[in-house]
Amino acid sequence: MPEETEVYRRQGFGAGLGVQPPLGLLIVDFVNGFADPAVFGGGNIPQAIASTVPLLALVRERGWPVAHSRIVYADDDGDANVFSDKVPGMLTLKEASPASAIVDALAPQAGELVVRKNVPSAFFGTTLAPWLVQRGVRTLLVAGCVTSGCVRASVVDAMCWGFRPLVLADCVGDRAIAPHEASLFDMQQKYADVMTSAELRERLPAAA
């Protein structure tokens, strides 16, 4: 979208935030249901999960804080909301549902936060922001799915809380590629830095 890019450039959008330590990692909704095209998955989500595996290993090696999110509704649907009205299938994601469980390849370890949410943003109504603040996080690496939904909502809220979101383009996925690409463009212009995990690795020696 070269014409659109020029409009944004001319109006002053897209400034870089930089990689400012301390860093943390948020993995949004990489659960079995979103890994499965027969449930909520599809598109490039499997590739994004695969790319997140070495990213998570790097973050753990460096001892940075890691948070995961899952969508979880009450067994009796007592917390059903507008999100579940819009996407009724979300109500199948219960605490004990295999579809709501984080994929084995990215299973949380001791000391990592697991946020349960029933709206798109991992920040809304959860303890994620104070947990990150307590650990001094400034730059928040973001992986997960879907790019146009819960990832984007979480990135916008992260920016609103004063964190510097850094979206790893190869570590986020969507069930359709057009909204994935449009959302990466939008976040780069207004809310976050966007780069690949390989580009992040190249910048890390000077950044952290």
Residues with catalytic function? 150
Q: In this structure, what DSSP letter does residue 125 have?
A: T
CA 131, CA 68: separation in Å to the nearest integer? 12
Tokens representing residue 45 in the block: 């989500």
Coil, helix or strand at residue 28: strand
Buried b (16+ CB within 10 A) or exposed e, 109-142: eeebbebebbbbbbbeebebbeebeeeebbbbbb
Tokens representing residue 44 in the block: 């490039």
Sheet of 66-71: strands edge to edge?
113-117, 66-71, 23-28, 139-145, 164-173, 193-195
Q: What are phi and psi of 161, to 5 degrees?
A: -80, -5
Polymer length of the chain: 208
